[in-house]
């Protein structure tokens, strides 16, 4: 049994075997571009070999820093956005469940995220929740200049200095950024912050297995050695294996066959609420990799059975441009029986000898039958358990499949030019020096009346 397997029974009436044969050579070519570093912007593909090429010295420094944070802080505030936030959040929920922050802090700090929004309410609420407790900050930004984390860093740095004075505050600031340049890099050197490197050849949405994710994950008490071992297992199993023996490539192949048949939206689903952020992380990975040249699969997400009571109607009877990918944990972290009840007023007596996990998995089976009968193709990604090793494998599985999908569709899987437009407008409207021209353009555009 592999840690992560793809089940395509839900594609039976949607994909013909010859269609897989037809796309096969193109998928292999796309994979070769990625693995041989011959594709566009190949220099950003260093994550492919990261599981056996990461820096062991920095890895140990991460573990040391995590221990320091565990010893001197009740709270760790992780400041970052996009790829500098979603991976860590995804991992903490996947590994520790939905109530990690409420389960006491004798072994690990509560871990909260900031700088992933411009909301003053959210930020003020977090400041209030921290109160006067001991805390540290891990500020993460590859560019070092992204507005949201930069604003949050100013606010939490001020709180650290107010509480501890400059010298002690500096010891509680951990920076993860570019090796050589950027505002954060320069400040870390000036102020002597403990800092870690986001490798040049790894972009934000592919960076969770770098210090970007590893420090928060280690600070939570999780085993990052096991995490990297699981990713290495995936690298060995997936990097060179041919299509028909490679579930990650098959996932890439099938989702692209479906896309070309008009199923232009993919919903990543799980029946476990603590996998909600796995889908949030995947949405950036897939959306920011593929959404270019006015094409690409639109990534969305749902948590079942919860969202069957909100989105179920649309998925069953709305536009037939949807595909579903369910991520299921084979061995859930815990399970519960259904208590016996003599009166049986709720009519659940027939469930009294089953467990919640059995009911959850049966619900998934029932939903896949209903949705495939309703015209929605379904794939199932089964992950062995909620262990660090399985998470490491799952991360590599999706990163590999999505990057191959990008090359398969002839786009650059590693840039994100589209995120600059709104930023230029925001800087202009905020009066950032150097954006006067843009501001004028916006005002002129604004003055043009609609006829």
Ligand X SMILES: O=P(O)(O)OC[C@H]1O[C@H](O)[C@H](O)[C@@H](O)[C@@H]1O
Which residues are known to be catalytic?
Answer: 288, 423
Minimum distance, C-beta of residue 418 to ligand X, in the bound complex (Å): 9
Tokens of 411: 């786009």
419 contacts ligand X (rule: CB under 6 A): yes
Question: Rg of the chain's alpha carbons, rounded to an integer?
Answer: 23
Among 46, 269, 280, 288, binds ligand X (CB under 6 A): 288
Residue 46 or 288 having the CB closest to ligand X: 288
Residue 79 or 169 having the CB closest to ligand X: 79
Reduced to 3 states (helix: H, G, I; strand: E, B; else coil), residue 23 is: helix
Among 205, 232, 276, 371, binds ligand X (CB under 6 A): 205
Candidate ranges 75-83, 224-232, 234-242, 430-438; the one touching ligand X (CB under 6 A): 75-83
* 375/386 Cα distance (integer angstroms): 31
81 contacts ligand X (rule: CB under 6 A): yes
Candidate ranges 79-87, 265-273, 311-319, 404-412; the one touching ligand X (CB under 6 A): 79-87
Among 110, 116, 146, 195, binds ligand X (CB under 6 A): 146
Minimum distance, C-beta of residue 403 to ligand X, in the bound complex (Å): 14
Other Cβ atoms less than 10 A from the Cβ of 93: the count is 22
Residue 11 or 215 having the CB closest to ligand X: 215
Among 8, 73, 138, 141, binds ligand X (CB under 6 A): 141
* 120/268 Cα distance (integer angstroms): 30
* 156/114 Cα distance (integer angstroms): 9
Minimum distance, C-beta of residue 280 to ligand X, in the bound complex (Å): 13
Other Cβ atoms less than 10 A from the Cβ of 131: the count is 9
Among 10, 149, 296, 377, binds ligand X (CB under 6 A): 149
Mind giving me the DSSP string for 38-62?
-STTGGGBGGGSGGGTS-HHHHHHH
441 exposure class (CB count in 10 Å sphere: 0-12, 13-18, 19+): middle
204 contacts ligand X (rule: CB under 6 A): yes
430 contacts ligand X (rule: CB under 6 A): no
Cα dist from 135 to 163, 214, 435, whole Å: 10, 18, 37
Tokens of 213: 């994710």
Minimum distance, C-beta of residue 144 to ligand X, in the bound complex (Å): 7
Size of the site for ligand X (CB under 6 A): 14
Residue in this structure with the two tokens 């089964």, named with its chain if needed:
382
Minimum distance, C-beta of residue 43 to ligand X, in the bound complex (Å): 16
45 contacts ligand X (rule: CB under 6 A): no
373 exposure class (CB count in 10 Å sphere: 0-12, 13-18, 19+): exposed
Candidate ranges 21-29, 34-42, 82-90, 119-127; the one touching ligand X (CB under 6 A): 82-90
Residue 204 or 299 having the CB closest to ligand X: 204
Convert residues 100-139 into a mask of x (bound to ligand X by CB under 6 A) and - (unbound). Answer: ----------------------------------------
Question: Whose CA is closest to 62, among 194, 259, 215, 263?
Answer: 215
Among 301, 378, 390, 416, binds ligand X (CB under 6 A): 416
Cα-based torsion angle of the residue sequence 395, 399, 402, 406 in order, rounded to the nearest 10 degrees: 170
Among 10, 45, 82, 287, binds ligand X (CB under 6 A): 82
Minimum distance, C-beta of residue 20 to ligand X, in the bound complex (Å): 32
Residue 50 or 380 having the CB closest to ligand X: 50
Residue 350 or 422 having the CB closest to ligand X: 422
Minimum distance, C-beta of residue 423 to ligand X, in the bound complex (Å): 7
Minimum distance, C-beta of residue 36 to ligand X, in the bound complex (Å): 25
432 exposure class (CB count in 10 Å sphere: 0-12, 13-18, 19+): middle
The distance from CA 2 to its chain's CA centroid, rounded to whole angstroms, is 22
Residue 87 or 332 having the CB closest to ligand X: 87
Mind giving me the DSSP string for 256-301?
HHHHHTT--EEEEEESSGGGHHHHHHHHHHHHHHH-BTTBSPEEEE
- The edge-to-edge listing of strands for the beta sheet with 75-79 is 110-114, 75-79, 135-141, 173-177, 194-197
* Positions that interact with ligand X (CB under 6 A): 81-84, 141-143, 146, 149, 204-205, 288, 416, 419
């Amino acid at each position: 049994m592999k840690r992560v397997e793809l089940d395509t029974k839900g594609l039976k009436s949607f994909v013909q075997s010859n269609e897989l044969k037809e796309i096969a050579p193109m998928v292999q070519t796309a994979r070769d571009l990625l693995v041989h570093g011959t594709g566009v912007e190949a220099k950003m593909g260093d994550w492919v070999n990261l599981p056996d090429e990461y820096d062991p010295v920095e890895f140990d420094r991460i573990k040391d820093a995590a221990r320091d944070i565990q010893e001197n802080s009740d709270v760790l505030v992780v400041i970052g956005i996009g790829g500098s936030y979603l991976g860590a959040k995804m991992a903490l929920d996947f590994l520790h469940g939905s109530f990690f922050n409420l389960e006491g802090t004798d072994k690990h700090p509560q871990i909260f995220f900031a700088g992933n929004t411009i909301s003053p309410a959210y930020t003020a609420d977090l400041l209030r929740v921290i109160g006067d407790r001991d805390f540290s900050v891990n500020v993460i930004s590859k560019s070092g200049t992204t507005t949201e984390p930069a604003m949050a860093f100013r606010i939490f740095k001020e709180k650290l200095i107010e509480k501890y004075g400059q010298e002690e505050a500096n010891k509680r600031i951990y920076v993860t950024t570019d090796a050589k340049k950027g505002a954060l890099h320069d400040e870390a050197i000036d102020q002597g912050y403990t800092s870690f490197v986001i490798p040049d050849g790894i972009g934000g949405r592919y960076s969770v297995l770098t210090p970007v994710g590893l420090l928060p994950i280690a600070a939570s008490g999780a085993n990052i050695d096991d995490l990297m071992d699981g990713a290495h297992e995936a690298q060995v199993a997936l990097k060179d294996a041919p299509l028909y023996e490679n579930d990650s490539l098959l996932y890439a192949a099938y989702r692209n066959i479906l896309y070309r048949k008009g199923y232009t939206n993919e919903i990543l689903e799980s029946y476990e609420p603590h996998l909600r952020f796995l889908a949030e992380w995947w949405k950036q990975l897939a959306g920011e990799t593929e959404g270019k040249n006015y094409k690409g699969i639109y990534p969305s997400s749902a948590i079942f059975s919860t969202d069957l009571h909100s989105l179920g109607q649309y998925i069953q009877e709305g536009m037939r441009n949807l595909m579903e990918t369910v991520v299921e944990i084979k061995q859930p972290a815990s399970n519960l029986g259904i208590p016996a009840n003599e009166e049986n007023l709720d009519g659940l007596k027939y469930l009294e000898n089953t467990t919640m996990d059995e009911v959850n998995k049966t619900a998934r089976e029932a939903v896949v039958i209903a949705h495939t009968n309703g015209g929605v193709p379904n794939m199932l990604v089964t992950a062995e358990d909620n262990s660090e090793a399985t998470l490491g494998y799952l991360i590599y599985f999706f990163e590999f499949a999505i990057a191959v999908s990008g090359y398969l569709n002839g786009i650059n899987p590693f840039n994100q030019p589209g995120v600059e437009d709104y930023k230029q407008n925001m800087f202009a409207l905020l009066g950032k020096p150097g954006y006067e021209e843009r501001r004028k353009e916006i005002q002129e555009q604004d003055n043009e009346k609609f006829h």
